[in-house]
Amino acid sequence: MHGALILYTLIALFPVFVIVINSFKKRKSIFREPLSLPDAGSFSLVGYETVLKQGEFFSYFQNSMIVTVVSLFFILLFGAMAAFALSEYRFPGNKWMGLYLALGIMIPIRIGTVAILELMVSTGLVNTLTALILVYIAQGLPLAVFILSEFMHQVSDDLKNAARVDGLSEYTIFFRIVLPLVRPAMATVAVFNMIPIWNDLWFPLILAPAEATKTLTLGSQVFIGQYVTNWNAVLSALSMAILPVLILYVIFSRQLIRGITSGAVK
Amino acid sequence: MQRARSRWHIAVFLAPAVLVYTAVMIFPLFNTLRLALYSRIDQERVFVGLQNFKTLFGDAVWSEQFWNALGNNLWFFFIHMLVQNPIGIALAAMLSHPKLRFAALYRSSIFIPTILSFVIVGFAWKLILSPIWGIAPDMLDAVGLKSLFAPWLGKEEYALTTLALISVWQFVGIPMMLIYAALLSIPEEVLEAGEVDGITGLSAFWKIKLPLILPSIGIISILTFVGNFNAFDLIYATQGALAGPDYSTDILGTFMYRTFFGFQLQLGDPHMGSAIASAMFLIILIGVCIYLFGIQTRLRRYQF
């Protein structure tokens, strides 16, 4: 059993390993001994130098960061507010509203791309990060509302009613009492949304392809396309694109795995 | 203590989410379906009814591309169901073994490809499989199978299957995690009761665990379906918008992109693009309905 698992782990990690070790080598060694680790004779940072000189990698990275963090913030805020309304209050149409918001879990937002592009053109948002942020908020909300309302059902009613007796407003109850209690669920939602937003190629390509708004994913795609024959540069660009996600994964993997295995997505 | 409170706060809580979701997701979705009924004639948008669909399915050039993309997409899905999900289930079954050491390490490592972007995954494999670099042929040579090597991504007959397998490699972590969670939620007593009756090891997996995790297998199937019929990035990153060689890796996502956005000398046509998007919408809707009404209701859920 360990044999099978080790084999599969090697298959999973091998490509990443090969890319990263070769990004630190001289061009000759990349071809001559692709599987050996860089040593004193073959070590070289020439690829990274090319990438840093030619590409706007810091600006791409910054764009990706802004888009991901701002989208996540609003997905969590708006999602939690809607989930609270749906799980806390009885009002006519409550059930229909829940179903309406859940539609987007199964129907991919990409189907509406033609009209989204038209909408962004008519509102002048093309080639702005705002366009991407709006799309990712809309894309992330359905699952966020679904997961968060499951968790909000579990917050004790006594606590909220006691607060009402004390004269706290519904807004205070939401922000001061309920939000802190569902923090673990919010972390799960954040981690689920983070990866697809960071890695998306489709919407940056269509809505914000300008140099100033390129995300890291689109930026590396374009850079690699232009430097196909410069192996040092391509391998270094790939390694630099891998690094931020890998760091995020190491930080959040426990949260992510706990989120999946706690049955948040059933 | 229920005073006649104002109910405005409900609207305030709901409004932001409902507004953004409606404006950026639901409205464009229906607008896309509507745009499929229009066409651009002499710089003006004209209502043409089902004309675009007649072109898509009736015109020889268009319909050939559409069926090619749909056929490729079905094959792409088929490979995922046949390779990704069984491997995912097998890995989950091994990982959930209670006496396994380093389980967390294996789990985290196998999940790493899933967090990488399609651009990284696509190029990484393109380099590894490249005959120029020679990693793949050298490794096959080491086990004496060099004759099997071919430039897989460059050959019409292999390219699509190769890409599907790359995608499987990337996403096997998702079924693995979901099945793993389902296996962990099976109570000990059930397995112990089986042990008393002499059902252990592999037969415990087939006779007790597998029937209990069928609902999760249903969920990963529909997730795979929706994900595959909406796929685009991996093909675009490795083969470009033309989905070469000779359209052999064209799937609905790349076909729609090419049509509505244009490529090289061909101008984009948002209305034909919308028609293709409508067809994709219908296909996904049919798949989801089959799952919701045909499969999910028949799978018995066990509550412990």
Q: Chain B neighbours among A 19-38 (CB < 8 Å)?
A: 19, 30-31, 34-35
Whether residue B223 lies within 8 A of chain A, CB to CB, comes out as no
- CATH code assigned at A189: 1.10.3720.10
**What DSSP string runs through A83-152?**
HHHHHH---TTHHHHHHHHHHHHHS-GGGGHHHHHHHHHHTT-TTSHHHHHHHHHHHHHHHHHHHHHHHH
Query: How far is residue B279's CA from residue B271's CA, in Å, rounded to a whole number?
Result: 13
Are B235 and B253 a contacting pair, CB within 8 Å? Answer: yes
The pLDDT of residue B192 is: 86
Shortest alpha-carbon distance between residue B193 and chain A (Å): 24
Q: Which two tokens stand for residue A31?
A: 């071809």
For residue range A230-255, list pLDDT tens digits in order: 888 888 888 888 888 888 888 877 77
The arithmetic mean of pLDDT across residues A87-111, rounded, is 90
In a domain, A145, yes or no: yes
In a domain, B263, yes or no: no
In a domain, A87, yes or no: yes
The pLDDT of residue A137 is: 97
In a domain, B145, yes or no: yes
In a domain, A254, yes or no: no
Query: Considering only CB atoms, which chain A residues are within 8 Å of B23?
Result: 119, 138
Looking at the DSSP bridge assignments, the partners of residue B47 are B38
- CATH code assigned at B185: 1.10.3720.10
Phi-psi category of residue A240: left, alpha or beta, with phi > 0 → left and psi -120 to 50 → alpha: alpha
- The residue segments making up the domain with residue A64 are 57-208
Query: How far is residue A116's CA from residue A122's CA, in Å, rounded to a whole number?
Result: 10
Question: How many domains would you assign to chain B?
Answer: 1
The pLDDT-based confidence of A78 (bands split at 50, 70, 90) is very high
Which among B23, B116, B185 has CB closest to A245? B116
For residue range A100-141, list pLDDT tens digits in order: 998 888 899 999 999 999 999 999 999 999 999 999 999 999
Query: Considering only CB atoms, which chain B residues are within 8 Å of A119?
Result: 23-24, 27-28, 31
ipTM of the complex: 0.88
Q: Chain B neighbours among A 43-72 (CB < 8 Å)?
A: none
Question: How many domains would you assign to chain A?
Answer: 1
Are B239 and A203 a contacting pair, CB within 8 Å? Answer: no
In a domain, A125, yes or no: yes
In a domain, B213, yes or no: yes
Residue A44 clears pLDDT 60, i.e. is over it = yes
Q: Which two tokens stand for residue B64?
A: 């050939």
Residue A265 clears pLDDT 70, i.e. is over it = no
What is the chain B residue with the closest CA to A230?
B127
The pLDDT of residue B1 is: 42
Element (H, E) at B39: strand B38-41
Query: Considering only CB atoms, which chain B residues are within 8 Å of A111?
Result: 29, 32, 230, 277, 280-281, 284
What is the chain B residue with the closest CA to A243?
B116
Q: Which two tokens stand for residue A249?
A: 């994964």
Residue A98 clears pLDDT 60, i.e. is over it = yes
In a domain, A83, yes or no: yes
The pLDDT of residue B2 is: 47
Whether residue B219 lies within 8 A of chain A, CB to CB, comes out as yes
In a domain, A160, yes or no: yes
Contact B20 A242 (CB under 8 A): no
The pLDDT of residue A263 is: 56
Are B176 and B95 a contacting pair, CB within 8 Å? Answer: yes
Query: Considering only CB atoms, which chain B residues are within 8 Å of A107?
Result: 29, 281, 284-285, 288
In a domain, B5, yes or no: no
pLDDT tens-place values along chain B, 304 residues long: 444 457 889 999 999 999 999 999 999 999 999 999 998 887 888 888 898 999 999 999 899 999 999 999 999 999 999 999 999 999 999 988 878 888 888 888 898 898 888 888 988 888 888 887 777 777 787 777 777 777 788 888 889 999 999 999 999 988 998 898 888 888 888 888 888 888 877 888 888 888 888 888 988 999 899 999 999 999 998 888 888 788 899 999 999 999 988 877 778 889 999 999 999 999 999 999 999 888 877 776 665 5
Percent of chain A whose predicted confidence (pLDDT) is above 90? 39
Q: Which of B1, B2, B13, B135 to mutate to test the interface with A (most CBs of A within 10 A)?
A: B13
In a domain, A171, yes or no: yes
Query: How far is residue B135's CA from residue B129's CA, in Å, rounded to a whole number?
Result: 7
- The residue segments making up the domain with residue B240 are 70-251
For residue range A176-232, list pLDDT tens digits in order: 999 998 888 888 888 888 888 999 999 999 999 999 999 999 998 888 888 877 888
